[in-house]
Structure 1
Amino acid sequence: MVTVTVIETVQLTKSYPSVTALDHLDVTVGPGVTGLVGANGAGKSTFIKILLGLVEPTSGSARVLGHDVVGEGAAIRARVGYMPEHDCLPADVSASDLVVHLGQMSGLPYAAARERASDVLRHVGLAEERYRPMGGYSTGMKQRAKLAQALVHDPQLVLLDEPTNGLDPSSRDDMLALVHRIGHEFGIAVLVTSHLLGELERVCDHVVVLDGGRLLQASATADFLGATGSLLVEVQGPTGADRLLGQALVDAGYAARPAEGTLVEVDVRDDATRDVVRDLVVDLGLGLVRMQERHHRIEDVFRG
């Protein structure tokens, strides 16, 4: 099976007089959902602007869907959808009118733009509200409208900049489900940025981590989430039950320490570790709520 390259950069560099925003970046992005991770100032926004052909690199090269970002920006933007982070919607315009207008700007005839707008607004959950002025929309509805306009011209790639920004937990889950559908059911490649790293673990097939304009790591999400060689144990009992178990494990010769909340983390020493934990829990008269492998998180890349 041939892997399609959606985005490819070679030694991509963008320098300004006082800062280097991107520093010799080598990145390859394929189909599915790819997360772009980095703190403010890591180079994410500059990277997206270069991919859209809006900013020229200082050196190196970048290709999007086979097109060079220098000189072929119009061809790229015809095939790419972009959802900006910030609120940029005209308050007195309906979502339907906006999406139809932007569909026409992308080259669709009026009738086709209206049909596509109706479809994408339904897919993002704005079918009932599409004729209302967007000034009265909630934050979640505004994010859905921005997503709809990025999809109206049936792009091959969408760039989503912080799509869950400002959303409550329920709306965030809905947006993440939409992002997953776009990448896996609609067959549109997705590059999504987020500062909430746990979100990317949930929906992304691959993750690209930037730090100060440099590539820190790029790999399949599953590679980030490999087992750490330790167990997380939760017990039920009187106050301090977790400390009792932790001390008992240390007394038994195991490396154990407090983890999140009242969890106890214990290093797996051998195949008998799980049995030892269970026996100690019973001996202490505690209830075993759960015992599971601890996995790396994307945050661990930054700590390392």
Structure 2
Amino acid sequence: MGDTIRTEQLTKDFGSVVALDRLDVAIGEGVTGLVGANGAGKSTLIKILLGLLAPTSGGATVLGHDIATEGAAIRGLVGYMPEHDCLPSDVSASDFVVHLAQMSGLPRHAARERTADVLRHVGLGEERYRPMGGYSTGMKQRAKLAQALVHDPRLVLLDEPTNGLDPAAREEMLHLIQRIGADFGIAALVTSHLLGELERVSDHVVVLDGGRLLRASATTDFLHTTGTLLVEVIGDHGAQDLMGNALAAAGLPCRPRGHVIAVEATASSAEQDVHDLIRDTACALGVGLVRIQVDHRRIEDVFREGEEHVIHA
């Protein structure tokens, strides 16, 4: 299976700002997270891939089609969920999604069947005949997701799909995105500035910074262990300081990190030996030990390192 998206030296210069700077990236099947701070170039990339913006230079293909000459073919194969609210307030979700399904080429009867199915899938089955102006933000986001899926696309582009959602609605949306890739086999490119979300739902991650590619790899490659153990004890900062000082005196480099102690395992120590030393130290001090947890490197660490590199370059 080839790449769903490939860019080559893709550049978009607005004059006052370079939104994309010679971007070379290949995106495959599954769910890919496109991460970066606001202004990193995420939405610009999506609009160029859809043919809504012309690049300044460079090129790209989507599902094997050239963005410069085959925009209509791309839009027929791709579903798009825009970031901003674009729903007509006096139209029901059912009528809206049926209309867009027909615009995508489905006959009216098939459009109605597909609309009923996809609205049930996103959790709007019982609300589908209500005008969307009365919807909550979470319901509006699900309606936008439904219209992106109704014509059974091979790829969906989801621009900030959890934007404005409360924690419960965010969890529901993330679950739906996981199902798109895992249960329905539709490739998805999901943008977000909330890094932790993408770790949870993405098979691959592309990190942009100032329109440049910082890194692209499988999500698991980001989340490797760091050689650091996180130790939490019962009590206030006094108990934490007592434990940290004792571990340092025992030869384990450590430092406070919020309400936990980050302990660096030495290269000469086996992991179990370090666990035993932490346990024995807590017992000797009479300090209650809540947990010893392996620290994992996160996407945020990669992004932070990239920012530091730019600052010091």
Report the Cα offset of residue 238 of structure 1.
5.8
CA apart distance, 1:239: 5.5
Separation of aligned partners in 2, 1:99 and 1:255: 58
Question: Size of the alignment, in residue pairs?
Answer: 301
State the Cα distance separating 1:158 from its structure 2 match: 0.4
Match of 1:197 among 172, 185, 195: 195
- CA distance in 2 between counterparts of 1:18 and 1:87 reads 26
TM-score, length basis structure 2: 0.94
Secondary structure of the corresponding residue to residue 43 of structure 2: helix
Deviations along 1:169-204, one digit per CA (max 9) or x if unpaired, are: 111001000000001111000000111110001100
Q: For residues 120-155 of structure 1, give each alpha carbon's deviation from its aligned partner in whole angstroms, at most 9, with x where no partner exists.
A: 000000000000000110111000000000000000
**1:303 equivalent in alignment to 2:300:** no
- Match in the other structure for 1:121: 119
Residue equivalent to 2:308: none
Tell me how far apart the structure 1 counterparts of residues 97 and 163 of structure 2 sit (CA, whole Å): 21
Q: Which runs of 5+ in 1 are unaligned?
A: none
Match for residue 20 of structure 1? 18
Partner of 1:286: 287
Distance in 2 (alpha carbons) for counterparts of 1:251 and 1:273:
14
Deviation string for 1:80-131 (max 9, x for gaps)?
A: 0000111111110000000000000111111010000000000000000000
The answer to whether the aligner puts 1:161 opposite 2:159 as a matched pair is yes
Q: Which amino acid aligns with 2:140?
A: K
The aligned amino acid for 1:287 is G
Q: Taking every aligned residue pair, what percent have the same amino acid on both sides?
A: 71
Unaligned runs of 5+ in 2: 306-313
Call closer, same or farther: CA 1:153–1:247 in 2, change over 3 Å: same
How far residue 15 of structure 1 moved from its aligned partner, in angstroms, is: 1.6
Give the match for residue 261 of structure 2: 264
How far off its partner does 1:230 sit? 0.4
Whole-angstrom distance in 2 between the partners of 1:16 and 1:239: 51
CA–CA separation in structure 1 for the residues paired with 2:215 and 2:122: 32
Q: Displacement of 1:4 after TM fit?
A: 3.0
Which deviates more from structure 2 when the two are superposed, residues 150-159 or residues 245-254? 245-254
- Give the SS at the match of 1:159: strand
Q: Which amino acid aligns with 2:300?
A: E
1:135, 1:29 → 2: CA distance?
36
Query: What is the match of residue 174 of structure 1?
Result: 172
Partner residue in 2 for 1:148: 146
Letter in 2 for 1:257: R
Shift of 1:19: 2.1
Deviates more, 1:3-12 or 1:86-95: 3-12
Give me the CA root mean square deviation: 1.0
Q: Determine the C-alpha separation between the residues in 1 that align with 2:170 and 2:238.
A: 35
Partners of 2:219 and 2:15 in 1: how far apart?
35
- SS of the residue 2:39 aligns to: coil
Q: In structure 2, what is the Cα distance between the partners aligned to 1:134 and 1:16?
A: 35
* Residue in structure 2 matched with residue 277 of structure 1 by the alignment: 278
Q: Does 1:250 align with 2:248?
A: yes
